[in-house]
Structure 1
Amino acid sequence: MPAAEPASSPASVPPHRVEPRSMPGRDPRMQWVLTLAVIGAGILTIRPMGFSGWGLAVAVLFVLNCLALLARGLPEARVTERVAVVWLSLGIVASAALIATGRGGSTYLFAFFLAGHVGYRLRTRPAVVLALSCSLLCGAVLYFHLGPGHHLVPWEIGLATGVPVLVGIANRSHHQAVRSALSAAESAESAARAEAQAAVLTERSRIARDVHDVLAHSLAGINMQLELADALLDTGDLEKVREANGKAHSLVKESLKQAQWTVHTLREDSLPLLESLTAMLASSGHRDALTVTGTVREVPAQVTQNLLRIAQEALTNAARHAPGGDVGVELTFAASSTTLRIRNRAATRPVDAGVGSGMGLIGMRERVALLNGTLTTGPVTEEPDQGGWQVEAVIPQ
């Protein structure tokens, strides 16, 4: 029989999660390199910077701009949108003030980079409003010659400081699409893992039914005959002891046949339904019991396996509870379904089967339910099979 579960089943594989920092198109190292480059350019070119007077004011504004720019590295989860709006607004005001107070060709770079981050960090509407404010502030500072460095930077560049917001918006849209794709992939992976786990449990249930079908009936009968033989030894009736021993041997042989059929039906390369059922009936002594109706067609392997197990269970029950009774098997291929009907007549020999486990009928119902079919069982009330038992499984096409 196949193993119940492989050593490394799909359900045992840990899920793979992609952290935000490793998302395509977002490299924190590059962001830090650009930030440090802007700060370095400011240190080298922006003047005056000192510890008193006008130089102190420029130095303070430069530090504020550096802090606003460095804050871009804060994780989005730790900064609410309201806090981000306040921080970026103050950063833009500080960058416009640095353009107004400092001299140097790199004063506008802080405004450019902050405007780009506004587009990435905020929703589109507040991002556009804030970027437009940045353009108007920086453009007005240079246009009205409010600072000593207006002759170094044209006012058109100040007006363009809000343009990078478009790059930020595009980058944010791309990252949102990547996050959605990753989330969908994780959901699909979780669904696949759940499906694999369900498949493992279904396979375990199927093998449990097969083990029951092969072992439960036969081992119970063998045990009963051996206990009978053991009890008869005390009476000295050797004839009855031999009879019980012979029945036990017959049950062992029958169990071997059933085990062979179980292995056969569990194999993926099992024979077609009609050939398999014909061979099963021949090996169980019912060579001419099969009647086929309709156009024979191939059915899925799962349908074949479950119908064969139902037939085997029904034949075993017939031999146990109605020994000597004739058995008839009908296989009907209709346009929308495949029907298997097993009917046995009443027993013609004494019934000595003991009490069954009651799992056989449950197993048959489970098999039919897996195929979305219906199972009908019960006594036969019409002639000529009155007093017998019938099992009918209907599997939709």
Structure 2
Amino acid sequence: MFSFARPHRHDVLIAAIGLLGGLFLWVLGLHMQGDRPFVAPWVSLLPLAVVSGLELVRRNAPQAALVIGTLALVADQFTVGNLATVLMFTDLMYAAVLYGTPSAARRIPVTTFLITVAVTIGFLTWFRNPQALLIGVVTGMVSFLPAITGVSVRNHRDAAEAALLRADQTALLAEMDRTQAVTAERARMARELHDMVANHLSAIAIHSTAALSIDEPDTSREALGVIRENSVDGLAEMRRLIGLLRTGGANPEPSTSPTLASLDALIGQARTNAAASGLTCVFEDVRDERGPLPAPVELAAYRIVQESLTNALKHAAPGPVVVRLGWAGPLLAVEVSSVFGDRAGPRAPGSGAGLVGMRERVVLLGGAIEAGPVRTGDGPMIWRVRAELPVAEGNVRA
């Protein structure tokens, strides 16, 4: 079936050149053959006009154009003939393979090859003269050669389109990887920033509120001391993070990252910050073996303790805050518990980002974490954070 889409400008150009060229040959009297049933020269213009018109639909209806063009070429053999008609037919054969369906592109070369062989054998049998081979050669040049050329061009075109598609897919995957990497890095920096600063700012907020609400010189002096200490420590942590950002973060974790060996200092600072709230911090390390662990594991354990102490400072009722390190089989167990309930006095608001950050750290290491209120025996309800972290290097995914 013909398509009524607008012809491509190249097809219009081919049709115009073919028609004008054929008319020029006809005016000059240059014919391909004589002694034909229709010897009147003007009759050869009819196949010429049909084939040139078919050039306009060589892209939109290539197979229909080839069928009608074949009939026109056969009709041309009963006239004096026109070279332009034959040349345009070869283009129709080429276009049928190049722009036709995949099945047609496979079928046409085989069909034209068989036709060429059959014509060659047939004329050799008929004329019994080696010169009959020339008819087979011409038939192959008019039909089989354009079909093979179309196959070659189509294969190159399909290969180029496939390569372009793969390039686009590769670029898309690269962009997705880049976006995921940027998102992961931003999340890591957000966790670092929150864990480093929240503890100090929470202590500053609580003690500044106490200094403003309790009009006692000793209390105000003590609160100002805690505020100054946390301000200096927080500034140092911020400078460390800024230095990491400026150096490009070549390593997943900087060499100056805190480790489990720094927990004593962290808990000592927490004792100072929490004293005014009636909290007492206790550190229990019940591990049999206390050798160095992978840096991401030590950093995650440190940050979990740090964030848990910060939450205790914000929300825990007066009582002990127990930090415990131990082994749960091959896993490092980190547990922080505090009294669950309301307390009097100033409190710092929370956003919930700390718990999210702790879960992200544990998931990246392939561990497990639980946080929530639990009851132990007849004692008060406690808030417990417990994380179990794999210490094998192969389990670390960040």
TM-score by length of 2: 0.64
Return the match for 1:330 from 325, 333, 348.
325
Q: Which residue in 2 is equivalent to 1:163?
A: 144
User: Which region of structure 1 is more displaced relative to structure 2, 303-312 or 323-332?
Assistant: 323-332
Does residue 230 in structure 1 map to residue 212 in structure 2?
A: yes
Matched pairs, number:
342
1:357: how far off? 0.4
Question: Match of 2:40, SS?
Answer: helix
Query: Structure 1 residues 243, 371: closer, same or farther in 2, change over 3 A?
Result: same
CA contact (8 A) 1:95 1:110 kept: no
Work out the CA distance in 2 between the residues paired with 1:48 and 1:296.
103
Q: Deviations over 1:288-345 (max 9, x none)?
A: 86565669676475x665444323213434556488957545265976xx53414357
User: Which region of structure 1 is more displaced relative to structure 2, 356-365 or 251-260?
Assistant: 251-260
Query: Structure 1 residues 344, 124: closer, same or farther in 2, change over 3 A?
Result: closer
User: Which region of structure 1 is more displaced relative to structure 2, 281-290 or 192-201?
Assistant: 281-290
Work out the CA distance in 1 between the residues paired with 2:233 and 2:227.
10
Q: Which residue in 2 is equivalent to 1:66?
A: 52
Q: Which residue in 2 is equivalent to 1:239?
A: 218
1:179: how far off? 2.0
Query: Structure 1 residues 238, 286: closer, same or farther in 2, change over 3 A?
Result: closer
CA contact (8 A) 1:326 1:345 kept: yes
Return the match for 2:306 from 304, 312, 324.
312
Return the match for 1:176 from 158, 163, 172.
158
CA contact (8 A) 2:15 2:53 kept: no
1:392: how far off? 2.8
Does residue 361 in structure 1 map to residue 355 in structure 2?
A: yes
Work out the CA distance in 2 between the residues paired with 1:314 and 1:258.
18
CA contact (8 A) 2:284 2:324 kept: yes
Question: Match of 1:341, SS?
Answer: strand
Q: What is the percent sequence identity of the aligned residues?
A: 21
Work out the CA distance in 2 between the residues paired with 1:305 and 1:393.
13
Work out the CA distance in 1 between the residues paired with 2:86 and 2:101.
24
How large is the Cα RMSD of the aligned pairs?
4.9
Work out the CA distance in 2 between the residues paired with 1:297 and 1:36.
84
Q: Deviations over 1:227-255 (max 9, x none)?
A: 433344xx5x3333323323322332343
Work out the CA distance in 2 between the residues paired with 1:127 and 1:315.
74
Q: Which residue in 2 is equivalent to 1:109?
A: 87
1:361: how far off? 1.9
CA contact (8 A) 1:221 1:354 kept: no
User: Which structure would you say has the larger Rg?
Assistant: 2
Work out the CA distance in 2 between the residues paired with 1:390 and 1:121.
71
**Unaligned ranges ≥5, structure 1:** 1-27, 144-150
Q: Which residue in 1 is equivalent to 2:34?
A: none
Q: Which residue in 1 is equivalent to 2:67?
A: 89
Query: Structure 1 residues 133, 363: closer, same or farther in 2, change over 3 A?
Result: closer
CA contact (8 A) 1:105 1:153 kept: no
TM-score by length of 1: 0.64
Residue identity in the other structure for 1:159: T
Q: Which residue in 1 is equivalent to 2:369?
A: 375
Q: Which residue in 2 is equivalent to 1:118?
A: 96
Q: Which residue in 1 is equivalent to 2:172?
A: 190
1:284: how far off? 1.9
1:375: how far off? 0.7
Query: Structure 1 residues 127, 95: closer, same or farther in 2, change over 3 A?
Result: farther
Q: Which residue in 2 is equivalent to 1:211?
A: 193
Work out the CA distance in 1 between the residues paired with 2:163 and 2:50.
38
Q: Deviations over 1:364-397 (max 9, x none)?
A: 12332344431123467669x9976543323452
1:175: how far off? 2.4
1:90: how far off? 1.8
Residue identity in the other structure for 2:334: R
Question: Match of 1:101, SS?
Answer: coil
CA contact (8 A) 2:260 2:302 kept: no
Query: Structure 1 residues 262, 306: closer, same or farther in 2, change over 3 A?
Result: farther
Residue identity in the other structure for 2:135: W
Work out the CA distance in 1 between the residues paired with 2:362 and 2:75.
79
CA contact (8 A) 1:339 1:392 kept: no
Work out the CA distance in 1 between the residues paired with 2:364 and 2:260.
24
Question: Match of 2:179, SS?
Answer: helix
Work out the CA distance in 1 between the residues paired with 2:56 and 2:104.
21
